[in-house]
Structure 1
Amino acid sequence: MKNLTIGFAIPFLLMAAMTSAHAQDEAVTWAPLELFGCNFVDGSDMDDLNAVIDTWNEWMDENSLDTYTAVVLSPHFTAGSFPYDVLWVGVWEDGAALGGTQQWLTEGGEIQDDFAEVVQCPLHQAFAVNNVQEPAEATGIVPVAFSNCTINEGRIGPEARAAIVEYIEFLAEHGSVNGHWILRPAAGEELAADYSFKWVRAYSSWSEIGGYFDLLFNGGGFQALGDITGRVMSCDSPRVYNSRLVRQMAEDE
């Protein structure tokens, strides 16, 4: 069982490597992202994790590590094959910012131990993330959906992204303002994994998810989804989590 050791070093070439399914698209910017799947140690709960997060945030501020955003997610609609009490998603501003991991690994041992007393995290994966559409402004709990998608034979990554953009345009015509991201596997993936990328959607509220349900099942959304994306890719049933922002990287001045 791995502890929640936030941050890690992965070779830049690994982040830049692309399979034939992900041909280079020079207009798209990718950032490094890490995903932890964690379970609470017996006797611990979210309140204990929040207390450690507060200490960690103070340490990050004291060391001017302000190029990292972190989100904590709790499962809402998931299957037994996703057996985690909590997910941690962390995003660096860019590959250079990921270098701050060195300081965390060498100087953050005490807080790492604090995390280990609360959660054990057998899953730790790296992705390259592209924000296809910014989410609407939201506060508090934000529902987030993850789907694993496979690019059809003969198609390539930029075509899949273009299909997602086209579907976003359809959603916008019907009042949807949710955020969309593409996550490409970079390191730590299961050997048997057979998907091309994760498609992540964030909703401003559960009311927005309710509106999307009506559009999907009663307003032609499923038909549009199949018509627009089905020729390029297929995606599995989404897992839905309640997410909470616990750290926000500094904005560019």
Structure 2
Amino acid sequence: MMACSFKEDKSWDDLDELTEAFNKWLKRKDKDYTYWTFAPVFREDNELDFAWIGGWSSGAMFGKSWDNWFDDDDDVGKLFNETADCVNNLASVTTVRAPADGWPEAGVTWFSRCTLEDGVSLRDAAAAHGAMGSAMADMGSPAASWLFLPALGFGDVEFDYYHVESWDDFATLGAGFDAYFNQGGWMKANELMDGVTQCASPNLYRYKLRRDGDR
């Protein structure tokens, strides 16, 4: 996970050039890696120009990828440093509801910081989020969702995990708002989530799938 700000005079066009170069490196060195870029739409500050999130199918593939990168990045790292300043973190991801039809090329995602109530386990929270996701799907608003658990580089964070949800487009997200506020979704949330976890107001992004790795 990287939170990035463009260098002076750099833009999304330069990021496109960077991802094109990086994809060429991945084709030779790391066919497993999948990644997305995220453009902020609604968030609490304006310091972030874009986010970059990628992942591997296993910890072993993660380690192999980094070994390959440090061995020879083919100057893609230099291009990255010329394009943006980024803060790099590693999270472990638990899938709550997988995308129904694989990864769309683009869509809408939100990230919400969540804190477990006293005596509640992460397993309990995952079950509650899963039940809420099923309830929303029954109301006609399906969403994929995950728990992102801080692992490396986060420091002493004041939350336990990110709850991440994704929709194919804003229309689908808007239908979810209708279901939540007008069809009883908020009452279901009170029933399922109270006493389990407290989640902050989400930050919303448009995402673009830059590469779907060979798994």
SS in 2 for 1:208: helix
The equivalent residue for 2:26 is 60
The equivalent residue for 1:209 is 173
TM-score by length of 1: 0.81
- Could you list the structure 1 runs, at least 4 aligned residues long, displaced by more than 2 angstroms after superposition: 136-141
SS in 2 for 1:54: helix
Structure 2 distance, partners of 1:174, 1:40, is 40
Structure 1 distance, partners of 2:116, 2:97, is 20
1:28-83 CA-partner distances (Å, limit 9, x unpaired): xxxxxxx10000011110011111110110111022x1111100000000111x62
Residues 73-152 of structure 1: pairs in structure 2 closer than 5 A? 73-80=38-45, 83-99=47-63, 100-108=65-73, 110-121=75-86, 123-137=87-101, 139-152=104-117
Following superposition, the deviation at residue 140 of structure 1 comes to: 3.9
SS in 2 for 1:245: strand
Are the equivalent residues in 1 in contact too, given 2:113–2:160 (CA < 8 A)? yes
TM-score by length of 2: 0.95
Change (3 A) 1:140 1:247: closer
Following superposition, the deviation at residue 109 of structure 1 comes to: 5.2
**Residue identity matched to 1:223:** M
- 5+ residue gaps, structure 1, are 1-34
* Aligned positions, number: 213
- 5+ residue gaps, structure 2, are none
**Residue identity matched to 1:133:** R
The equivalent residue for 1:176 is 141
Pair 1:38-2:41 in alignment: no
Question: 115, 129, 132: which is aligned to 1:164?
Answer: 129
